[in-house]
C-alpha cells in the first residue's frame, strides 16, 4: 500500500534541504525570488497526470429575464446637508467615539469645505430586474431608507468648491455571506490626500464613520489638469471584489467653468448637459436559480457573469429624445472587459479618456472599456433612424484570463434606446469643436525610472515578484518630481487593467510605439489595459500631497489576491 520509492525519497530530501537552506541562510523573500527558489516550475516538469478538465466551479446560468422591461434608472445627485454647521469640522478628528481614525487633513486651511454631504453605507433592497426577486444589496445613499432609491448614486462637485463627505458605515455587523462589513471608500482618480483617498488598508467597521475631505483641487493648479468623471467604490483589502459586487459603487462628476453642466453657456464647452448628461454604470453579475446575485467565493482568476447591469438594471430601456447626449460610461467589473458599439453601427464622439476631456473629440464606432475605465461619449440620436437603437457589448470574455479578443456579431445588447421626438439641442456639434481640454506640459527632468511587472504567481498575483504587504513601501517618490514608470505584463496570457491611485499618468508608448496626438490614449489616464506581453511606458508627476497610495490590478479578484504595491509620496529623496 505504501508507494514509497526512490524518487519520492529524493523529493522528500529535496524539500528538507530547501527548508534547511531557507532557515540557515535567513533568506528574505526577495532573495528567494532572486535565487529562483520561488519560481514556478523550472526544476523538472513532472506531469502529475491530473485531469485537464476546466475548473470545478459549476457554470452557473442566470434565470431568464425579459429584456427591455424596465426603464434605465438615472442616478440623482446627492444633496448636501445645508443645516450642518461647517465650522464644527476641522483638520483633525472630531473627537467622538464613532469616528474612525485617520491622519489630519492636509491643506485644510487652504481648502476649507464649503459643502457637507452625508453618505450611509447600508444594506438596502434592490431589484435588478422585475423577473428576479427584490434582494439585499449594499450601497451608498444619502438617506437611511431601507430600499435603494437608485443603484448608483452620484455626487456633483465643482472645482473651487471643497467638500467633506461623511461616510457612515452602517452595514450589518453580523452579516452572513460574501462581503465583509468593513469599508474604505476610494474616490477613484481623485486628486485627494492619502487620508481621504480610501486606501485599502484604512478600513473601518460597522458603526463608525469617517470624514473624507475632497478638496476638488486642480493638480498643480493647472486648469488642464481638470478631472471630469470619477467613481467611488469600496476598497477594503482582500474583500474589494466581494464588496463592490454587493453594490458599493457610485459616481462623482466634477465640473469647472468650461465643463460647466450648461450647454447654453457660450463661455463653456457646450457639451450636452442636465438631463442629457447621463452616467451609464456597467456591472457584470450572475444570479443563482433563486434569482439572487451569486458570487463565486472560490474563484482566484476573475468573476465573469452572464448578466450585465446598467445603472443596476438588467437590459433596461431609455427613452431618449432625438438630439445629442453625453453618456458617461463606467465599467465596474469585477473582471469583465467590455467593447461597445451601437446596433446600427452609428458613429459617436469620444470626448474623454478615464473621465478627462480629450484635446479634441474623436469620432469612432466602437470603444473598449476595461474595468474601472471611464469614457464620455457624445451620441446624436437625431442621426439614428427607426424607433430604437441598442448599445451592444461585442467583446468575448469567458474567464478571468482576460478577453479572448474575438469580436462577437452581433454581441449582447445591454441597453435599448427608444427614440422619441426631436428636441431642442443647445449643445455644439462635436465636429465643430477644435479644442477641448489641452494636455499639461510634461517635465523634461525625470527624477527616477521604475519598472512594475505584473505577474501570476501560483494562483496568486504579484507585482515585481512581491506580494502586497501594507507595511512595505515599494517606491518612495519625491514630492514635486516626475518619474517614468514602465508597466510590464509578466506573461501567461493574462490581461490586467492596471490602476494607480491619486496621480494620473500619460502613456508615452506601448511596446515602444509612441502614443501620438489624435490617439485616444493621447490623454491623461489612471487605468491601463495591459494586454498579454505588453510593456507600457508612462510619465507621472507627484504633486500637492504626501502619503501612501496603492497601485494595483483592477481585475478586483487579482487585486484581492495580492496584485498590489504601495508607493509613498515623500518630502525627501526618492528610493
Partner 1 sequence: MTMRRRNFLWGSAAVLGGGALGLGGAQVLSSVGSLAAESGDPDGVFPNIVLTSHESRNYRFYDDLIRGKKVIFNFFYSGCGDICPLSTQRLVEVQEMLHGRVGRDLHMYSVTLQPELDTPAVMRGYMETYGVQPGWLFLHASREDIELLRRKMGFVDPDPELDADLESHIGVVKFGNDEIGRWGACPSFADPEEILASILTIDPSPAARS
Which spans of this chain sit near Cu ion (rule: CB under 5 A)? 496, 553, 555, 558
Of Cu ion, partner 1, none, which one does residue 553 interact with (CB within 5 to 8 Å by kind)?
A: Cu ion
The least CB distance from residue 554 to Cu ion, in Å, is 8
Nearer to partner 1, 159 or 337 (CB): 337
Of partner 1, Cu ion, none, which one does residue 41 interact with (CB within 5 to 8 Å by kind)?
A: partner 1
Q: Which of residues 460-489 bind partner 1 (CB under 8 A)?
A: 460-462, 467-472
Nearer to partner 1, 238 or 388 (CB): 238
Binding mask 24-63 toward partner 1 (x if CB under 8 A, else -) reads -----x--x----xxxxxxxxxxxxxxxxxxxxxx-----
Nearer to partner 1, 201 or 261 (CB): 201
Could you write out the DSSP letters of every residue in 257-319?
Answer: SSS-S-TT-TTS-----GGGEEEEEEEEE-B-TTS-B---TT-SS----SEEEETTEES-EEE
The least CB distance from residue 37 to partner 1, in Å, is 7
Q: Which of residues 430-449 bind partner 1 (CB under 8 A)?
A: none
Site for partner 1 (CB under 8 A): how many residues?
86
3-state SS, residue 445? coil
E-strand ranges in 458-504 read 460-463, 475-478, 482-489, 496-500
Nearer to Cu ion, 230 or 498 (CB): 498
Nearer to partner 1, 61 or 297 (CB): 297
Nearer to Cu ion, 295 or 545 (CB): 295
Binding mask 368-387 toward partner 1 (x if CB under 8 A, else -) reads --------------------
Binding mask 96-115 toward partner 1 (x if CB under 8 A, else -) reads ----xx--------------
The least CB distance from residue 86 to partner 1, in Å, is 25
Q: Which of residues 490-529 bind partner 1 (CB under 8 A)?
A: 492-493
Nearer to partner 1, 54 or 441 (CB): 54
Of Cu ion, partner 1, none, which one does residue 523 interact with (CB within 5 to 8 Å by kind)?
A: none
Task: Indicate the helix (H) or strand (E) that contains 19.
Answer: helix 6-25
Of Cu ion, partner 1, none, which one does residue 18 interact with (CB within 5 to 8 Å by kind)?
A: partner 1
Cα dihedral sign, 155-104-355-501? negative
Question: Do the Cβ atoms of 295 and 283 come closer than 8 Å?
Answer: no
3-state SS, residue 207? coil
Binding mask 124-163 toward partner 1 (x if CB under 8 A, else -) reads ----------------------------------------
How many degrees, rounded to 5, is the angle at CA 139 between CA 328 and CA 73? 45
Q: In terms of Cα–Cα distance, which of 193, 196, 175 is closest to 185?
A: 196
The least CB distance from residue 492 to partner 1, in Å, is 7
Of Cu ion, partner 1, none, which one does residue 445 interact with (CB within 5 to 8 Å by kind)?
A: none
The least CB distance from residue 299 to partner 1, in Å, is 6
The C-alpha atoms of residue 301 and residue 558 are separated, in whole angstroms, by 6
The C-alpha atoms of residue 498 and residue 496 are separated, in whole angstroms, by 6
Nearer to partner 1, 459 or 512 (CB): 459
Cis link prior to 490 (omega < 30° from 0)?
A: no
224 touches partner 1 (CB under 8 A)? no
The least CB distance from residue 204 to Cu ion, in Å, is 27
**DSSP structural state of residue 253:** E
- Residue 154 phi/psi, 5-degree rounding, is -130, 150
The least CB distance from residue 176 to partner 1, in Å, is 4
Q: In terms of Cα–Cα distance, which of 553, 537, 446 is closest to 485?
A: 537
Of Cu ion, partner 1, none, which one does residue 555 interact with (CB within 5 to 8 Å by kind)?
A: Cu ion
Q: Which of residues 229-268 bind partner 1 (CB under 8 A)?
A: 237-239
Of Cu ion, partner 1, none, which one does residue 46 interact with (CB within 5 to 8 Å by kind)?
A: partner 1
Nearer to partner 1, 198 or 279 (CB): 198
Q: In what order do the strands lie in the sheet with 356-364?
A: 313-314, 307-310, 277-285, 324-331, 374-380, 348-353, 356-364
**DSSP structural state of residue 343:** T
Residue environment code for 438-451, b if the CB has 16+ CB neighbours within 10 A, otherwise e: eebeeeeeebbebe
176 touches partner 1 (CB under 8 A)? yes
Task: Indicate the helix (H) or strand (E) that contains 121.
Answer: strand 115-126
Q: In angstroms, how far is CA 80 from the centroid of its own chain?
A: 25
**DSSP structural state of residue 381:** G
The C-alpha atoms of residue 388 and residue 310 are separated, in whole angstroms, by 17
Selected from 73, 400, 411, 550, the binder of partner 1 by CB under 8 A is 400
The least CB distance from residue 544 to partner 1, in Å, is 25
Cα dihedral sign, 516-519-525-528? negative
Amino acid at each position: 500500500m505504501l508507494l514509497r520509492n526512490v524518487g519520492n525519497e529524493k523529493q522528500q530530501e529535496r524539500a528538507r534541504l530547501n527548508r534547511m537552506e531557507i532557515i540557515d541562510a535567513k533568506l528574505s523573500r526577495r532573495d528567494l525570488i532572486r535565487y529562483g527558489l520561488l519560481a514556478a516550475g523550472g526544476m523538472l516538469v513532472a506531469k502529475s497526470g491530473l485531469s485537464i478538465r476546466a475548473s470545478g466551479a459549476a457554470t452557473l446560468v442566470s434565470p431568464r429575464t425579459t429584456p427591455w422591461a424596465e426603464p434605465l434608472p438615472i442616478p440623482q445627485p446627492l444633496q448636501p446637508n445645508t443645516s450642518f454647521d461647517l465650522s464644527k469640522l476641522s483638520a483633525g478628528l472630531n473627537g467622538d467615539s464613532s469616528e474612525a481614525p485617520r491622519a489630519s487633513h492636509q491643506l485644510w486651511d487652504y481648502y476649507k469645505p464649503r459643502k457637507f454631504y452625508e453618505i450611509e453605507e447600508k444594506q438596502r433592497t434592490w431589484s435588478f430586474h422585475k423577473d428576479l426577486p427584490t434582494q439585499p444589496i449594499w450601497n451608498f445613499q444619502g438617506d437611511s431608507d431601507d430600499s435603494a432609491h437608485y443603484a448608483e448614486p452620484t455626487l456633483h462637485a465643482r472645482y473651487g468648491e471643497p467638500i467633506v463627505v461623511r461616510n457612515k458605515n452602517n452595514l450589518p455587523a453580523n452579516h452572513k455571506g460574501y462581503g465583509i462589513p468593513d469599508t474604505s471608500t476610494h474616490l477613484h482618480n481623485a486628486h485627494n490626500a492619502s487620508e481621504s483617498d480610501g486606501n485599502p488598508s484604512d478600513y473601518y467597521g460597522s458603526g463608525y464613520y469617517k470624514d473624507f475631505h475632497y478638496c476638488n483641487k486642480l493638480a498643480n493648479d493647472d486648469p488642464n489638469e481638470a478631472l471630469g468623471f470619477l467613481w467611488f467604490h469600496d476598497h477594503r483589502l482582500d474583500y474589494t471584489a466581494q464588496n463592490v459586487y454587493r453594490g458599493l459603487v457610485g459616481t462623482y462628476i466634477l465640473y469647472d467653468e468650461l465643463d460647466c453642466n450648461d450647454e447654453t453657456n457660450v463661455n463653456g464647452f457646450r457639451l450636452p448637459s442636465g438631463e442629457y448628461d447621463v452616467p451609464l454604470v456597467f456591472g457584470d453579475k450572475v444570479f443563482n436559480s433563486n434569482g439572487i446575485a451569486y458570487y463565486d467565493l472560490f474563484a482566484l482568476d476573475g468573476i465573469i457573469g452572464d448578466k450585465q447591469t446598467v445603472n443596476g438594471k438588467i437590459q433596461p430601456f431609455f427613452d431618449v429624445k432625438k438630439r445629442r447626449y453625453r453618456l458617461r460610461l463606467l465599467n465596474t467589473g469585477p473582471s469583465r472587459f467590455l467593447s461597445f458599439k451601437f446596433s446600427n453601427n452609428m458613429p459617436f464622439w469620444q470626448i474623454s479618456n478615464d473621465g478627462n476631456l480629450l484635446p479634441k473629440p474623436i469620432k469612432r464606432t466602437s470603444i473598449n472599456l476595461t474595468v474601472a475605465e471611464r469614457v464620455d461619449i457624445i451620441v446624436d440620436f437625431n442621426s439614428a433612424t427607426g424607433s430604437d437603437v441598442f448599445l451592444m457589448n461585442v467583446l468575448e470574455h469567458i474567464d478571468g484570463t482576460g478577453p479572448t479578443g474575438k469580436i462577437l456579431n452581433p454581441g449582447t445588447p445591454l441597453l435599448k434606446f427608444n427614440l422619441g421626438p426631436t428636441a431642442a439641442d443647445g449643445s455644439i456639434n462635436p465636429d465643430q469643436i477644435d479644442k477641448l481640454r489641452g494636455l499639461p506640459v510634461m517635465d523634461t527632468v525625470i527624477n527616477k525610472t521604475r519598472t512594475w511587472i505584473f505577474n501570476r504567481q501560483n494562483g496568486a498575483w504579484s507585482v515585481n515578484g512581491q506580494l502586497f504587504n501594507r507595511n512595505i513601501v515599494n517606491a518612495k517618490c519625491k514630492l514635486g518630481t516626475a518619474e517614468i514608470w514602465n508597466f510590464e505584463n509578466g506573461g501567461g496570457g493574462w490581461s490586467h487593467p492596471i490602476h494607480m491611485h491619486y496621480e494620473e499618468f500619460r502613456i508615452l508608448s506601448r511596446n515602444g510605439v509612441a502614443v501620438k496626438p489624435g490617439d485616444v490614449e493621447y490623454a491623461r489616464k489612471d487605468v491601463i489595459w495591459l494586454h498579454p506581453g505588453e510593456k507600457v511606458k508612462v510619465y507621472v508627476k507627484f504633486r500637492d500631497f504626501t502619503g501612501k497610495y496603492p497601485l494595483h490590478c483592477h481585475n478586483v479578484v487579482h487585486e484581492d489576491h495580492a496584485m498590489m504595491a504601495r508607493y509613498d509620496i515623500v518630502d525627501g529623496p526618492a528610493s
